[in-house]
Amino acid sequence: MSAPQDPSALTQAPVSKSEYVFQRLRQELRDGTIAPGSQIRQIEIGERYGVSATPVREALRRLEADGLIIYSPHRGATVTDMAPHDLQDLYHFRITVESLCARLAVERGTEDDFAALRRLHDKLTALGDTGDAALLSQTNREFHLAIMRVGSAYIADTIMRPVWEKAIPASESLWDDPAFVRHCLDQHGAILDALDARDADLASSRMSDHIEGARQKRLVRNKNNPSPSAPVTRRKQA
């Protein structure tokens, strides 16, 4: 078990211990350190963060209110796990929104915008051989949000970023498959080529095909690896 973490170690000290626990747990849920379907044990969380049971309970209530965990008298706190049909709906939603934003990016983006996207793509490409699925997923998330932001900052930051953070933990990504990584990087490059060419139809269709391919991959992954029912406290990072 990890040593208790000192709340004062945060760059910006929270106003209370419950706020500290809430921030740390929310971050671990977002980055996938605590996996969907896992059971959160209050005693272990208190020991890991160096706090008593009270701030842990208060933090869990807030996470439950945000829909990030579910509490039941028999199992305690469990991390929310999306139903398969909900996950598929999310992919269809992403296809619609992100293909629109790719089209808008062609219309609204500047050469500087596209150069920044290339740099982010180069960064993701450089990470391709690391095998760090969580880091790859996080960088991929920023890449997609960056394209959307060029098209519509409002859609990217007000609508899509909260969806990504709440519904798609980084460790629940597909980026642990080297062949998938290479394929996605190639598709990202093709999307950027379409943006550079100012071809709105091509950029939109390539983004749609890219996300549809991820949806199909997810269908196969979920069929072969259904969500575990056994409680797990923390997911080990690569």
CATH no. for residue 138? 1.20.120.530
Same domain, 49 and 107: no
- Domain end among 57, 79, 101: 79
- Domain end among 79, 113, 131: 79
What proportion of the chain, given as a percentage, has pLDDT over 90?
45
Q: What is the DSSP string of 130-172?
A: S--HHHHHHHHHHHHHHHHHHH-HHIIIIIIHHHHHHH--GGG
Structural domain containing residue 74:
19-79
Q: Which of the four pLDDT bands, split at 50, 70 and 90, describes residue 11? A: very low
Structure tokens at 171: 């460790």
Q: Is the pLDDT of residue 3 over 80?
A: no
- Domain end among 29, 55, 79: 79
- Given a contact cutoff of 8 angstroms between Cβ atoms, the answer to whether 59 and 72 are in contact is no
**Residue 231 located in a structural domain:** no
**Residue 2 located in a structural domain:** no
Number of domains in the chain: 2
Using CA atoms, how far residue 132 sits from 9, 62, 67, 227, 237, in Å, is: 25, 30, 28, 21, 8
Same domain, 72 and 165: no
CATH no. for residue 47? 1.10.10.10
Q: Apex CA 152: angle with CA 148 and CA 155, to 5°?
A: 80
Residues 114, 191: Cα–Cα separation, whole Å? 11
**Residue 13 located in a structural domain:** no
**Residue 230 located in a structural domain:** no
Chain segment 167-209, per-residue pLDDT in tens: 765 555 688 889 999 999 999 999 999 999 999 999 999 999 9
Residues 68, 31: Cα–Cα separation, whole Å? 13
- Given a contact cutoff of 8 angstroms between Cβ atoms, the answer to whether 124 and 137 are in contact is no
Per-residue pLDDT, averaged over 38-62, amounts to 89
Same domain, 120 and 180: yes
Chain segment 110-135, per-residue pLDDT in tens: 999 999 999 999 999 999 988 888 78
More confident residue, 222 or 50: 50
Q: Helix (H, G, I), strand (E, B), or coil: what is residue 69?
A: strand
For residue 129, the model assigns a pLDDT of 87
Same domain, 88 and 196: yes
- The verdict on pTM exceeding 0.85 is no
**Residue 97 located in a structural domain:** yes
